[in-house]
Chains A and B, each alone.
Chain A
């Protein structure tokens, strides 16, 4: 990744202008051309360094449900259970972690009541307990990552 790409990533994690020519405006700040910025963003997306360029929604304010859930999965069944869990479109992220509770995933649903349903469906399919760990308060969320 070159210096310009780094600068773009560091500068554009939020506060993208909502104006008629937003890329031109940002390009001017970065002292590059609009075409160059669009090309760089295309490359970063193609390389998989960005998952997308756009909005991050506040799930609860959209009226949806959001929670963190965890499962204790026997190591020998891990791949199979991961496939079962990931097949649910409501599962947005899924991480293996080093603990007895070794599978951690985010559930994002359009309807809040769907959270409990999905949890029950996952429990039924896998035969394993799902621990629902809903958020009760948010003290800090730092969304920027310097590169």
Chain B
């Protein structure tokens, strides 16, 4: 974002690895950055308000929490209908995200992606059947891509100074 201030950039860098687990975490961050606790609080509140921070809290590892099956379901939907269908599918209880993405013709005609998480594959497939029945999607070409393995799961890392290296860039298995 072009209008991020230097102070905001430093805040973003300082908390990306996680918030300190101490009683006054924003004061600790302030000490690191030479800001007051109130400045850190105001800065973070602003970043949340403008949507640079989408969410602030626990970031879970879903596999370790028992959600072992995840399927990416991809659909080939006529362009004229994809917005409406995407909005409909996004309302469905079992779906965690729903995006429109670029096709890769001719090999990859799919333009709508839904993620379904479940405790096991059968649970995911039951959700998918329900989805297809609810929205009359049986005529829409689709594929179900279950994940077999997660090789890497690390948060993105943001630095605003070319020389700086991200501390948490090491790969995390999962």
Among A9, A86, A135, point to the contact of B60 (Cβ < 8 A). A9
- A105 CB to nearest B CB, Å: 7
A13 with B152, Cβ < 8 A, contacts A52-B17, A139-B90 known: no
Among A58, A92, A137, point to the contact of B86 (Cβ < 8 A). A137
- A75 CB to nearest B CB, Å: 11
Among B59, B102, B108, point to the contact of A50 (Cβ < 8 A). B59
Q: How many residues of B contact A (CB 8 A)?
A: 84
Among A34, A64, A140, point to the contact of B95 (Cβ < 8 A). A140
How many A-B contacts at CB < 8 Å in the complex? Answer: 242
Residues of A within 8 A of B145 (CB): 97-99, 101, 104
A133 at interface by CB-CB < 8 Å: yes
A145 with B67, Cβ < 8 A, contacts A21-B24, A63-B4, A104-B72 known: yes
A138 at interface by CB-CB < 8 Å: yes
- Docked complex Cα distance between A24 and B87 (Å): 38
Residues of A within 8 A of B58 (CB): 8-9, 12-13, 41, 44, 50, 53
A18 touches B87 (CB 8 A): no
- Docked complex Cα distance between A19 and B99 (Å): 34
Among B27, B44, B146, point to the contact of A18 (Cβ < 8 A). B44
B6 at interface by CB-CB < 8 Å: no
- Docked complex Cα distance between A50 and B48 (Å): 21
A132 at interface by CB-CB < 8 Å: yes
Among B19, B22, B158, B174, point to the contact of A64 (Cβ < 8 A). B158
- A51 CB to nearest B CB, Å: 5
B138 at interface by CB-CB < 8 Å: no
A105 with B98, Cβ < 8 A, contacts A53-B57, A62-B1, A96-B147 known: no
Q: Mark A83-114, 1 if CB is under 8 A from B, else 0.
A: 00010010111111111010011101010000
- Docked complex Cα distance between A99 and B96 (Å): 21
Please give me the 9 A-B residue pairs with the lowest Cβ-Cβ distance, nearest first. A140-B90, A108-B156, A139-B86, A137-B100, A139-B90, A52-B18, A97-B145, A16-B57, A94-B152
